[in-house]
Structure 1
Amino acid sequence: MHRSASRLTRVLACAAVPVILTVAGCSSDSGKESGSNGEKKSGSSSSAKPNPKSSKTLEKPAFSALPDPCKALATATIDTLVPEAKDKAGAAPKSNDLATRASCAWNGLDEDGLKGSQYRWLSLSYFRYDSQATLGDASKRAEEQYNKEVEAAKTAEGAQGPKAEAVGEVGDQATSVIYAVKKDNNDHYNTTVVARTQNVVITLDYNGAGLEGASAPDHAKLLQDAISAAKEAVTSVGAANKAPAEQPQSPQPQ
């Protein structure tokens, strides 16, 4: 009788073990989630560390718009650089977008009878950049494009003896690149001026040639004219971003 009672006590004790474990499992903190390894994870997002890159404040772009490139240079400038231009209003591609990039070009042939003809070609392009978290500040992006434009001018196809020089007093930075190109047995002298003003890059290409026995153009004069036009193109960027002048208030009726 004593042995039977002892055995019954052991059976009841073993049967109670899973019940106790089940209760203990249900009594865990319901306010926290458990991970796959059994560790508790906090339900608060405030413990997450901020990403230092995402918290960087980007600069506000200095310029938000571009000038119309076909109107960025004065008519007198076009007359000087491209005498007898086919279209003084210039030719612009349909892809022009004054928010980001735009260009315009002029060309003309100034004929002088038996003395031959002088050919001139002028192109003006604008590139504008915004600040982006993944790409950087607007002015930094513009500086990268500026360097690409200078390198492209120095490595232009067929360029003979390209020479690059820094140009002062044209935007925040500017470089001129001059070289000669042989086309149809004629020497074409090319001048490229690349300038940057804040978040806008300006590329001005200007070339000329003497045709039908005409003397070759003065390369120093081409360069001087190109730099003057580039200065004008930079000024047009600032003018395109000026706030409209306040209009005078009309007197109120008494």
Structure 2
Amino acid sequence: MQRAHRASRPVQRVVRALTGAAVLPVVLVAAGCSSDAEPKADAKQSAGSGGSSAKPSPSVAPAAYEELPEACDALGKKTLGKLVPKGLKTEKAGRTDDAGTRASCTWNSLDDNGVKGSQYRWLSVSLLRFDSSQVRGTGEEQAKEQYEALIADAKKTADAKKVTDKPVEGVGDEATLVTYDLKKKEGLFKQQTVVALVENVVVTLDYNGAGLAGEDAPSVKTLGERAADAAEEAVAKVAAANGDDASGSSASPSASASPSASASASASAARS
């Protein structure tokens, strides 16, 4: 699954490289009617007089993923039941001017235990997709930059305490979990932010919890594990939206055979 996905990555990147190369125009220099003994000076003049000797414009390999799933469908009900048990009806999609490149969804949950206090949970999933551009570079390069920027931003959150970060294995091409404590007037919130990179898409999952009105703070270890599992599920939904199944194969077997087809990457749907 995930290992197979990563093992296929070099081949897929070669395919995309070849794909990009395949669209380069072929420059044909017409042969003159004169003999092979044509003077070199005349040959140079002939080459410089026409447009056929101009260098072709550079081409950028197409991005692997062309679609995003609905952000509110990125997590199943079973997962939501674990992360926000009292919040299935609080689902709210974020506003976007281009659902094909950015989407988000939030949920919140308040488990009220009366005089014993209550447990609060808040969950957010956001998706960012980047297209290849001759000006900005490949979609994968742009996504990598955004991935690193989001991790840095999470680590610099104002008033955050006990900030830590660590890699998350088995999620996308790479993923990082950033955790910290954030004191608010309602109580002490335990924040978990997982940023995952999969080809030209960045998935960010924010999950925090707090014990309110005298209730104990939730376990950071449990919150972190659930956040990582949920991020893995969201990454798998991105892959599925682009025709990749859990085994890492593309729904279009002829994609790699066609020079004009975009190379497609795979992501694991379940942690091995």
Same-fold status (TM-score > 0.5): yes
Is the aligned partner of 1:80 residue 2:82? yes
- CA shift for structure 1 position 204: 0.3
Match of 1:44 in 2: 49
Q: Does the aligned pair in 1 maintain the 2:186–2:212 contact within 8 Å? A: no
Gaps of 5+ in 2: 1-46, 245-249, 253-272
- CA shift for structure 1 position 108: 1.2
CA offset digits 1:103-132 (Å, max 9, x no partner): 000001001122110000000000000100
Taking the aligned partners of 1:218 and 1:153, their CA distance within structure 2 comes to 20
Match of 2:21 in 1: none
- CA shift for structure 1 position 50: 2.0
Q: Does the aligned pair in 2 maintain the 1:96–1:102 contact within 8 Å? A: no
Supply the AA of the counterpart residue of 1:50. K
- CA shift for structure 1 position 184: 0.4
Identity in percent = 44
Q: Say which SS state the counterpart of residue 190 (structure 2) adopts.
A: strand
Taking the aligned partners of 2:143 and 2:161, their CA distance within structure 1 comes to 28
Q: Say which SS state the counterpart of residue 191 (structure 2) adopts.
A: strand
Match of 1:64 in 2: 66
- CA shift for structure 1 position 245: 7.6
Supply the AA of the counterpart residue of 1:80. K
Q: Does the aligned pair in 2 maintain the 1:167–1:174 contact within 8 Å? A: yes
Supply the AA of the counterpart residue of 1:87. K
Match of 2:14 in 1: none
Supply the AA of the counterpart residue of 2:229. S
Match of 1:234 in 2: 235
Gaps of 5+ in 1: 1-41, 247-254
Q: Say which SS state the counterpart of residue 243 (structure 2) adopts.
A: coil
Match of 2:145 in 1: 144
Taking the aligned partners of 1:119 and 1:133, their CA distance within structure 2 comes to 46
- The structure, 1 or 2, with the larger RCO (C-alpha pairs under 8 Å, 6+ apart) is 2
Q: Say which SS state the counterpart of residue 103 (structure 1) adopts.
A: strand
| CA 103–59 in structure 1, closer or farther in 2 if over 3 Å, else same | same
Task: Look at both structures and tell me which one has the larger radius of gyration over its CA atoms.
Answer: 1
Q: How does 1:39-188 map to 2 (within 5 A)?
A: 44-46=49-51, 49-50=54-55, 54-55=57-58, 57-85=59-87, 87=89, 90-95=91-96, 97-184=98-185, 186-188=187-189
Q: Say which SS state the counterpart of residue 69 (structure 2) adopts.
A: coil
Q: Say which SS state the counterpart of residue 165 (structure 2) adopts.
A: strand
Taking the aligned partners of 2:194 and 2:175, their CA distance within structure 1 comes to 7
- CA shift for structure 1 position 48: 6.1
Match of 2:5 in 1: none
Supply the AA of the counterpart residue of 1:59. A
Supply the AA of the counterpart residue of 2:172. G
Aligned length: 202
Q: Does the aligned pair in 2 maintain the 1:85–1:107 contact within 8 Å? A: yes
| CA 185–118 in structure 1, closer or farther in 2 if over 3 Å, else same | closer
Q: Say which SS state the counterpart of residue 71 (structure 2) adopts.
A: coil
Q: Say which SS state the counterpart of residue 76 (structure 1) adopts.
A: helix
Q: Does the aligned pair in 1 maintain the 2:63–2:139 contact within 8 Å? A: yes
Q: Say which SS state the counterpart of residue 64 (structure 2) adopts.
A: coil
TM-score by length of 1: 0.74
- CA shift for structure 1 position 94: 2.8
Q: Say which SS state the counterpart of residue 143 (structure 1) adopts.
A: helix
Supply the AA of the counterpart residue of 2:157. A
CA offset digits 1:148-186 (Å, max 9, x no partner): 110111011221121111111100010000000000051
| CA 174–245 in structure 1, closer or farther in 2 if over 3 Å, else same | closer
Q: Does the aligned pair in 2 maintain the 1:130–1:138 contact within 8 Å? A: yes
